[in-house]
Amino acid sequence: MKRLFLLSMMMLALAAGCNALDLTDDDPQTKAEASQYVDELMQAFRAGIISSFACPDVQWAHIPKLLEYGQSTEIVSNNAIPANPISSYHMSQCSEGMFALWMVEAARIHTLKPLASGIGGWPSQNPIIQRMNGNNQQPTWYVNDPAVQQEVLAAYVSWWNNANGKKSAASIDPLENTVYMWH
C-alpha cells in the first residue's frame, strides 16, 4: 500500500512537471517543443479539427509563438471554429490572429488556475472581442476587425514584454486598461 502511494505521488509530480513549461529556464528544447506545438495547433485550427469540448492545452511557454500568430489577419472559414460549448453563437469565420490571441488568454488563465475556469477550460465563450460602451449600453462585438485585432495584439505584446517571462504576470489582465474584453 505504501509503495502504491509513493508511486502515485511520483506519477503526480511527473505529470505536474510535464505541464510546467516555463520560459524563464531558457531551455532551447522546451522553446522548440512549444513552438512546434503552437504550429500544429494553428494547422488544426485552419483545418477545422479542434474540438469544442475542451480548450487546447496551451501553456505559458506557448505565449511567444502565439503572439507571433496574433499578427495574422488571415480569415479562416470553416464550420468548426472552436468555441466554448456553453455559447449559443456559432462562428463560421475567425481570423487566425484573433484565435491565437484567444489562446494567449487561455494560457494566461490556465497558468492562474491549472484546472482552468469555465467549461472545458475555455477563456471565454468565443474568440470575439467586445468593446465595452459606457452607461451600461450593450457592448459592440468585433468578430473580424483588423484594427481592433491590432489594438488587442498591442495590449498583449505590451503585457508580455512587461511580464519578462514571469508567471506572476498571469494575474494581470492584458486588456484591463483598454475598452475591450473577450466575449
At residue 101, does pLDDT exceed 90?
Answer: yes
Residue 9 is assigned to a structural domain of this protein: no
Residue 124 is assigned to a structural domain of this protein: yes
Domain that holds residue 173: 25-182
Residue 10 is assigned to a structural domain of this protein: no
Residue 90 is assigned to a structural domain of this protein: yes
Q: In this structure, what C-alpha cell is assigned to residue 44?
A: 488544426
- Alpha helix stretches (DSSP H) within the chain: 2-18, 28-47, 63-69, 96-112, 146-163
Q: How high is the pLDDT of residue 157?
A: 98
Residue 82 is assigned to a structural domain of this protein: yes
Q: In this structure, what C-alpha cell is assigned to residue 162?
A: 512587461
- Spatial strand order of the sheet with 129-131 comes to 140-142, 129-131, 180-182
Residue 3 is assigned to a structural domain of this protein: no
- Which residues are 182's β-sheet partners? 129
Establish how many alpha carbons lie within 13 A of residue 138's alpha carbon, considering only the half-sphere containing its beta carbon.
3
Number of domains in the chain: 1
At residue 155, does pLDDT exceed 90?
Answer: yes
* This prediction's pTM: 0.81
For residues 73-97, give the mean pLDDT.
Answer: 87
